[in-house]
Amino acid sequence: MWLPRAPADLFPFFADAHNLEAITPPWLRFSVLTPRPIAMHAGTRIEYRLRLHRVPLRWLTEIAAWEPPHRFVDRQLLGPYALWEHEHRLRAVGGGTVMSDHVRYRIRGGRMADLAGDAAVARRDLRRIFEFRARALHERFG
Per-residue model confidence (pLDDT) at position 53: 87
Per-residue model confidence (pLDDT) at position 114: 53
Which residue type is seen at 6?
A
Are 47 and 60 contacting, i.e. CB atoms less than 8 angstroms apart? yes
Per-residue model confidence (pLDDT) at position 107: 86
Report the alpha-carbon distance of residue 110 to residue 100 in Å, rounded. Answer: 28
For the stretch 7-26, pLDDT in tens is: 999 999 999 999 999 999 99
Q: Which ranges of the chain have pLDDT less than 50?
A: 112, 115-116
Are 24 and 132 contacting, i.e. CB atoms less than 8 angstroms apart? yes
Are 85 and 73 contacting, i.e. CB atoms less than 8 angstroms apart? yes
Per-residue model confidence (pLDDT) at position 110: 63
Are 104 and 97 contacting, i.e. CB atoms less than 8 angstroms apart? no
Q: Name residue 86's beta-bridge partners.
A: 74, 103
